[in-house]
Amino acid sequence: ISLQKSHSIFILDRSGVVPNDGVTHQGLFDIALFRPVPGLEIMSPVSAADLKLCFEYALAANGPVVIRYPKAACPQELPEFSQKVKRGKGILLESQGKATKNKYLIVTSGSMYQEAALACREEAVKKIKTDIYIMRFIKPFNEEYFIDLASQYKGILLIEDGVQTGGISENLAGLLAKNKILKT
């Protein structure tokens, strides 16, 4: 499908860590499994509204697309979740104005947003300003945009719902180190 650039849409339920389903229903390997496939796009919507937008994008795509989502309740909709889909880019949630060297950035897949939002709230209690970048696209990933964004923050935390080897966070950590944004 991928080598022939066949227009196909794979809807992947139970991506990432799946509570209460046992070892046979874990989606921990989906990112590591699908990222190396040439020409395959991987999307990770954050909410029901975003899932609809990602599906509409996939319908218009010229090749195969995987849309991965977790076994979890959708978070409360935010206006940012309804932003137009831009290939390779995610959704930035700014806590208090634009990025500065006094703020931190949490980078996460859509399915891990609720955990990232909880961490952000806990940091806000400590008066630590934190923004969230939701990777709507695992692949393709707009590295140039990400490096520009990441360079504006004091520190970055990568959260992924998959395995370390072959995952997107492994790739992003290397990208940040290569661009001297953080040391791994």
* Mean pLDDT for back-to-back runs of 10 residues, the chain (184 residues): 94 79 77 94 96 97 94 88 97 80 89 90 84 96 96 92 87 92 62
Q: What is the C-alpha separation between 19 and 5, in angstroms, rounded?
A: 34
Nearest to 32 by CA among 170, 136, 142: 170
pLDDT at 100: 66
Bridge partner residues of 91 (DSSP):
134
pLDDT at 3: 92
Q: What is the C-alpha separation between 85 and 76, in angstroms, rounded?
A: 19
Which tokens go with 66?
A: 């995987």
- Nearest-10 Cα torsion for 22, 171, 86, 117: 50
N-to-C CA span, the chain: 36
| 171 contacts: CB under 8 Å, gap ≥ 6 | 35, 141
Q: What is the pTM of this model?
A: 0.91
Helix (H) or strand (E) holding 175: helix 168-178
In a 13 Å sphere around the CA of 30, the CA atoms on its Cβ side amount to 28
pLDDT at 97: 66
Which tokens go with 69?
A: 């989502």
